[in-house]
């Protein structure tokens, strides 16, 4: 089982990238489990027809001790196992604590042993890497971390912070930094800017994802590009990313 965490600044297109990666991996015959770790709980929606699925936290509140594993998992396109940790009511409680509760429940219910996914992907809000948001970095949860960024200043600033946190955790046998994923915004000298960042972080750009309106077109259909337009060049980009992740 390969376990990876994908971080990135909010709004960078991280969940879009993760969902297309999950669908591409499933197209390669892998059993994939995607776990959304953002309080917005919208990581998996393009894998399930554009709808939000019940979150682990909400289900735990409703069913409490009667919660079963199949109450938490929705099977999406290509057989991707979709889960959303969820978060507290805005202004009440800690979203990071919600992630911890969700992870603890999945362990209690033996989710990984029962479903035996080939690849587990944690889609994590990357503006903060503390408390529960650092859970996917911990030993036993993920082996590698990939950071989605563009050439925009704030996106690279967030990527630098995340990479620094990963390296600080490395001496505790936590996940290692696997590389950057450049989700292009077509700003001037973008590739060069991110290449410079990767050198500073002593890592590499593992994939460049070009800006393409077909991504939004697929999302408007409630689908990934890989599902909706498998013959398009953009689908090949995500398939290449999947191969590199494997």
Per the model's pLDDT, the better-predicted residue between 98 and 49 turns out to be: 49
Kindly state the average pLDDT of the residues 70-79.
95
pLDDT digits (tens, 9 = 90+) for 30-58: 999 999 988 888 999 999 999 999 999 88
What pLDDT score does 206 carry? 97
Task: Find residue 209's DSSP bridge partners.
Answer: 183
CA–centroid distance for 71 within its chain: 21
Task: Find residue 144's DSSP bridge partners.
Answer: 4, 176
Instruction: Answer whether residue 116 shows pLDDT above 80.
Output: yes
Task: Find residue 85's DSSP bridge partners.
Answer: none
Instruction: Answer whether residue 90 shows pLDDT above 70.
Output: no
What pLDDT score does 160 carry? 94
Instruction: Answer whether residue 203 shows pLDDT above 80.
Output: yes
Instruction: Answer whether residue 205 shows pLDDT above 90.
Output: yes
Q: What is the 3-state secondary structure (H, E, C) of the chain?
A: CEEEEEEECCCCCHHHHHHHHHHHHHHCCCCEEEEEECCCCCCCHHHCCCCCCCCHHHHHHHHHHHCCHHHCCEECHHHCEEEECCCCCCCCCCHHHHHHHHHHHHHHCCHHHHHCCCEEEEEEECCCCCHHHHHHHCCCCCCEEEEEECCCHHHHHHHHHHHHHHHHHHHHCCCEEEEEEEECCCCCCHHHHHHHHHHHCCCCEEEEECCCHHHHHHHHCCCCHHHHCCCCHHHHHHHHHHHHHC
CA distance 60 to 67: 6
Q: Is 16 exposed, middle or buried (0-12, 13-18, 19+ CB in 10 A)?
A: buried
Contact 59, 93 (CB under 8 A): no
Kindly state the average pLDDT of the residues 61-82.
92
In the numeric block, which tokens belong to residue 143?
Answer: 């082996």
What pLDDT score does 140 carry? 75
CA distance 4 to 145: 6
pLDDT digits (tens, 9 = 90+) for 126-159: 766 666 777 777 777 889 999 999 999 999 999 9
Indicate the pLDDT class of residue 26, thresholds 50, 70 and 90. Answer: very high
| Positions marked catalytic | 9, 14, 40, 127
Contact 57, 85 (CB under 8 A): yes
CA distance 46 to 50: 5
Indicate the pLDDT class of residue 80, thresholds 50, 70 and 90. Answer: very high
What pLDDT score does 218 carry? 98
Task: Find residue 123's DSSP bridge partners.
Answer: 6, 36
Instruction: Answer whether residue 91 shows pLDDT above 90.
Output: no
Indicate the pLDDT class of residue 95, thresholds 50, 70 and 90. Answer: low
Instruction: Answer whether residue 75 shows pLDDT above 70.
Output: yes
Indicate the pLDDT class of residue 88, thresholds 50, 70 and 90. Answer: low
What pLDDT score does 86 carry? 86
Say what the pTM is: 0.94
Kindly state the average pLDDT of the residues 109-117.
95
What pLDDT score does 128 carry? 62
Ramachandran assignment for 217, one of left (phi > 0), alpha (psi -120 to 50 degrees), beta (any other): alpha
Kindly state the average pLDDT of the residues 120-128.
84
Contact 146, 180 (CB under 8 A): yes
pLDDT digits (tens, 9 = 90+) for 223-243: 999 999 999 999 999 999 999
């Amino acid at each position: 089982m390969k376990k990876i965490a994908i971080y990135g600044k909010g709004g960078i297109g991280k969940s879009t990238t993760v969902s297309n990666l999950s669908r591409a991996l499933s197209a390669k015959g892998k059993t994939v489990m995607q776990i959304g770790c953002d309080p917005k709980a919208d990581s998996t929606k393009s894998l399930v027809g554009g709808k939000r699925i019940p979150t682990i936290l909400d289900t735990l509140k409703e069913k409490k001790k009667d919660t079963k594993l199949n109450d938490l998992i929705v099977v999406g396109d290509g057989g991707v196992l979709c889960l959303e940790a969820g978060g507290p009511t805005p202004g009440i409680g800690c979203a990071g604590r919600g992630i911890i509760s969700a992870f603890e429940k999945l362990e209690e219910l033996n989710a990984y042993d029962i479903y035996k996914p080939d690849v587990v992907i944690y889609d994590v809000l990357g503006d903060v890497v503390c408390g529960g948001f650092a859970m996917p970095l911990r030993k036993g949860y993920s082996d590698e971390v990939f950071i989605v960024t563009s050439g925009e200043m704030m996106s690279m600033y967030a990527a630098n912070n995340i990479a620094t946190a990963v390296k600080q955790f490395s001496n505790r046998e936590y996940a290692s930094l696997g590389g950057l994923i450049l989700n292009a915004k077509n700003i001037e000298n973008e590739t060069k800017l991110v290449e410079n960042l990767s050198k500073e972080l002593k890592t590499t750009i593992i994939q460049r994802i070009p800006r393409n309106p077909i991504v939004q077109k697929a999302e408007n259909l409630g689908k990934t590009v890989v599902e909706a337009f498998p013959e398009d060049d953009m689908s090949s980009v995500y398939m290449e990313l999947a191969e590199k992740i494997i």
